[in-house]
Amino acid sequence: MTPFGVKMRELRAQKGVKQAEMAADLGVTPAYLSALEHGKRGAPSWAFIQKIIQYFELIWDDAEELTDLAHLSKPKVTIDTAGLDPRATRAVNLLSQRIGRLDSRALDQLLALLGERPSRGQ
């Protein structure tokens, strides 16, 4: 599940909308929404994010949060360390090898180190 997917699920639950109903309303398949939520598709387009914002009638801060989460929900990330300190290359390679073994506490610590505040499972 991606941070964007977690937020979409929360929004659907708050509105009492099933995935199939939301998909029909937005003109996409339920499989597409499911793939977005679970990180099996890349981040949605700006236009589709806007459709979701309108669908849930989100106000400024909530719309901005959803947009930010969409941009942070790319399930496959490429990091170019060419020209950087060799330790940067080592760090991202170690992270790619070990990210799946990090527990919740370690992920929160990593996010804090990167200047991000952890948020409810996202």
Question: How far, in Å, CA of 82 to CA of 8, rounded?
Answer: 36
Residue 24's CB: how many other CB atoms inside 10 A?
Answer: 12
Q: CATH classification of 3-71, choosing from 1.10.260.40, 1.10.3720.10, 2.40.30.20, 1.10.630.10?
A: 1.10.260.40
pLDDT at residue 118 in the model: 61
Question: How far, in Å, CA of 70 to CA of 32, rounded?
Answer: 15
pLDDT digits (tens, 9 = 90+) for 17-44: 999 999 999 999 999 999 988 888 888 9
pLDDT digits (tens, 9 = 90+) for 67-84: 999 988 887 888 999 999
The single residue listed with the structure tokens 């939520």 is 37
pLDDT at residue 43 in the model: 83
pLDDT-derived band at 119, boundaries 50, 70, 90: low
- Check the CA dihedral 100-102-105-106 and report its sign: negative
Domain boundaries, the chain: 3-71, 78-122
Nearest to residue 52, comparing CAs of 16, 23, 18? 23
